[in-house]
């Protein structure tokens, strides 16, 4: 479960990044295919692609390295140093409708016992829990918040008694920030209706202002996980984990905004 922690910390701990401005930056730098590739990689390995490649835990190293090369060329960093830096979690949270569309196309792997549908099991959607498209993600977010609390205990070596209210407080505070940001987000309407599996990736991209030449689906291009990694079910996240080696500490703030 430690591997899931980075996803939670990056998703639930941001206090100021503007998803609308992040989208503008992303659209200026990335093509539609590049954006789909990066968010697909995020869904598959979170923010830890470099670590996966270094550890030999991807089945197609050449493909993974090509994605890393593209990230470097486009200025997409592993860890943000400012509110304007692009990271994989921030991209995912800034394009929530696209994130859901891509998750519909990724094979389900059960990670926590939750009533949340698979395509909404992503902490980047915390800031959009009040929208129609992400309605139902709350149970998953709650379970991940509990994982984060447990990871903090493990890191400190002492178990701290926490009420459910205490566990959920940062989640709800950041959701409130996200809701405030939505009021000035011109694309929030994208989340006013369900994002269904039959919606094409192209149609979602066009809703965000991308021009897509082909009308056939642009397939997601995740960084494949090796068979060894697949067998380690306790250390996986398809939502956005970077690495369990950096537990609750790396708070990259993202629920409104997404993951950092």
With H, G, I as helix, E, B as strand and everything else as coil, classify residue 159. coil
Length of the chain: 260
Closest by CA to 124, choosing from 144, 150, 146, 153, is 144
Q: What is the DSSP string of 85-111?
A: -B-HHHHHHHSHHHHHHHHTTS-----
Q: How far is CA 128 from CA 171, 229, 233, 245, in A?
A: 12, 30, 28, 28
- Using the 8-state DSSP alphabet, how is residue 31 labeled? -
Mean pLDDT of the region 144-152? 83
Lowest mean pLDDT: which of 11-25, 37-51, 155-169?
11-25
Evaluate whether 259 touches 38 at the Cβ level (below 8 Å).
Answer: no
H-helix segments, 46-137: 49-54, 61-74, 88-94, 96-103
pLDDT tens, 181-209?
Answer: 787 888 999 999 999 999 999 999 999 99
**96-122, pLDDT tens digit by residue?**
999 999 999 998 877 788 999 999 999
Radius of gyration of the chain (CA): 17
Domain ranges of the chain: 2-235
* Confidence band for 51, pLDDT divided at 50, 70 and 90: confident
Return the pLDDT at 108: 82
14 or 158, which is more confident? 158
Average pLDDT in the chain: 77
Distance of alpha carbon 154 from its chain centroid, rounded?
A: 24
Distances in whole angstroms, Cα of residue 93 to Cα of each of 100, 111, 216, 243: 10, 20, 25, 18
CB-side neighbour CA atoms (13 Å) of 196: 4
Q: Which DSSP string do the residues of 196-253 spell out, in sequence order?
A: -TTS-HHHHHHHTT---S--S-------PBPHHHHH-GGG--SS----TTS-TT----
What value does the mean pLDDT take over residues 120-147? 91
Measured CA to CA, the distance from residue 12 to residue 172 in angstroms comes to 9
Pick from 89, 141, 94, 90: which is nearest to 114 by CA?
141
At residue 159, the pLDDT reads: 79
């Amino acid at each position: 479960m430690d591997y899931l922690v980075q996803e939670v910390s990056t998703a639930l701990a941001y206090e100021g990044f503007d998803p609308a401005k992040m989208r503008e930056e992303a659209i200026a730098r990335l093509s539609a295919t590049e954006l789909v590739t990066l968010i697909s990689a995020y869904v598959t390995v979170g923010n830890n692609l470099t670590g996966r490649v270094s550890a030999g835990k991807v089945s197609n190293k050449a493909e993974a390295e090509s994605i890393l090369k593209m990230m470097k060329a486009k200025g997409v960093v592993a860890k943000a140093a400012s509110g304007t830096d692009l990271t994989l979690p921030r991209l995912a949270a800034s394009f929530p409708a696209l994130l859901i569309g891509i998750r519909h196309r990724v094979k389900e792997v059960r990670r926590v016992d939750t009533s949340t549908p698979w395509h909404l099991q992503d902490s980047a959607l915390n800031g959009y829990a009040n929208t129609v498209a992400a309605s139902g993600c709350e149970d998953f977010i709650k379970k991940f918040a509990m994982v984060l609390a447990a990871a903090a205990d493990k890191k400190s070596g002492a178990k701290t008694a926490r009420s459910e209210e205490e566990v959920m407080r940062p989640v709800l505070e950041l959701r409130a920030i996200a809701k405030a940001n939505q009021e000035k987000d011109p694309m929030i309407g994208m989340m006013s209706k369900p994002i269904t599996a039959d919606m094409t990736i192209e149609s979602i991209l066009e809703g965000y202002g991308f021009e897509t030449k082909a009308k056939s689906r642009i397939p997601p291009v995740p960084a494949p996980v090796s068979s060894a990694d697949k067998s380690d079910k306790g250390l996986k996240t398809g939502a956005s984990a970077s690495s369990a080696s950096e537990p609750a500490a790396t708070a990259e703030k993202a629920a409104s905004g997404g993951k950092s």
